[in-house]
Amino acid sequence: MKSAPDLRRRSVLVTGAGGFIGSHLAERLAALGARTRALIRYNSSNSWGWLDNSPAKNSIEVILGDVRDRDTIHDAMRGVDTVFHLAALIAIPYSYRAPLSYVQTNVVGTLNVLHEAVAADVSVVVHTSTSEVYGTAQYVPIDETHPLQGQSPYSASKIAADKMAEAFHLSYGLPVTTIRPFNCYGPRQSARAIIPTIISQALKEPVLRLGNIEPTRDLNFIADTVEAFVMAADCQDAIGGVMNVGTGQEISVKELAETILRLLGKDLPIESQNQRERPEKSEVYRLCADNRKARQILGWEPQHTLEEGLLKTIGWIERHMDLYRSDSYVI
């Protein structure tokens, strides 16, 4: 894999910087010497999310605001040459309950970022997609030409956001590169995701209570995902394109649970609960990335095996079990 670019002369904005991927990315950018500004959703407690206790927080300028407010984006983008847009509502189960909020944040919020990026004449916007836009795989591995399927309100909102990014590139000449991460995991991820759910339950509960255990996922460790974002910001050949970021390997939820139990030295029964399952036609049964474009154009490739990433994630969750409610279902 290519080495990380020299970003010491770059001024960057990370939207959604208080979240799982965003906080790791902001820290990595600061470590590479970029003048890093983080946009974090306003809250009355003045929390910076995962950056609250980050060792890099003194190297990052934090702005509290909301991507749904265009004035906020205008102010956050002053003096910025590179934008990493990660702000989004991401929990799929909650999107069934509150679809409008996903349109407002994921579509309108993205529109605001793109509008202001044009006005600010930034050098590049790295836009965040998701493998959920593909829906259940019609063929594997999934390349970037695979049809897009809105199988949940969340995925539909992300398809719209991706197409808005494409439209701004084609209509206004905005330099946009879209990174499409497959299932990212690692330290700091919330229990709405499958790996923290399995690990936290395995550490405290007598049984694993999961949803549908048959679907397969392509799991990519957080540090590898972040590196793809960094490399995309320095790759002119990637502008106007979409890049899958995944390992090219798939594993079922059942096999994943068994792997985690083995790494923990535990033997627990696995139960499927209806309340944790998606509606049948909304379930994405298979995801597996074709990552050749990212390898060829970005020079990116994953550096962690699944077991290496899981061990790092297990260690972090063991030290932060106070953040997880293993006995309840988190949507």
- Domain residue spans of the chain: 11-189+220-247+288-303
Q: What span, in angstroms and rounded, lies between the C-alpha atoms of 160 and 163?
A: 5
Q: What span, in angstroms and rounded, lies between the C-alpha atoms of 54 and 47?
A: 12
Whether CATH 3.40.50.720 fits 11-189+220-247+288-303:
yes
Structure-token pair, residue 224: 């590898």
Answer yes or no: are the C-beta atoms of 250 and 135 closer than 8 Å.
no
pLDDT for res 328? 87
For 155, residues 6+ apart whose C-beta sits below 8 A from its C-beta are 92, 130, 132, 133, 135, 149
Q: What span, in angstroms and rounded, lies between the C-alpha atoms of 242 and 154?
A: 19
Q: What span, in angstroms and rounded, lies between the C-alpha atoms of 219 and 183?
A: 5
Count CA atoms within 13 Å of residue 283 on its CB side: 14
25-61 tens-digit pLDDT? 999 999 999 999 999 999 999 999 999 999 999 999 9
Q: What span, in angstroms and rounded, lies between the C-alpha atoms of 231 and 223?
A: 12
Active-site residues, by number, are: 154
pLDDT for res 253? 98
Q: Tell me which residues of the chain have a pLDDT lower than 50.
A: none
The beta-carbon contacts of 105-108 under 8 Å, at least 24 apart in sequence, are 105/67, 105/68, 105/157, 106/154, 106/157, 106/158, 106/160, 106/161, 107/157, 107/160, 107/161, 107/164, 108/68
pLDDT for res 284? 97
pLDDT for res 325? 92
The sheet with strand 176-181 has its strands ordered as: 60-65, 35-41, 11-15, 82-85, 124-128, 176-181, 242-245
Q: What are the phi and psi torsion angles at 7 (to 5°)? A: -110, 15
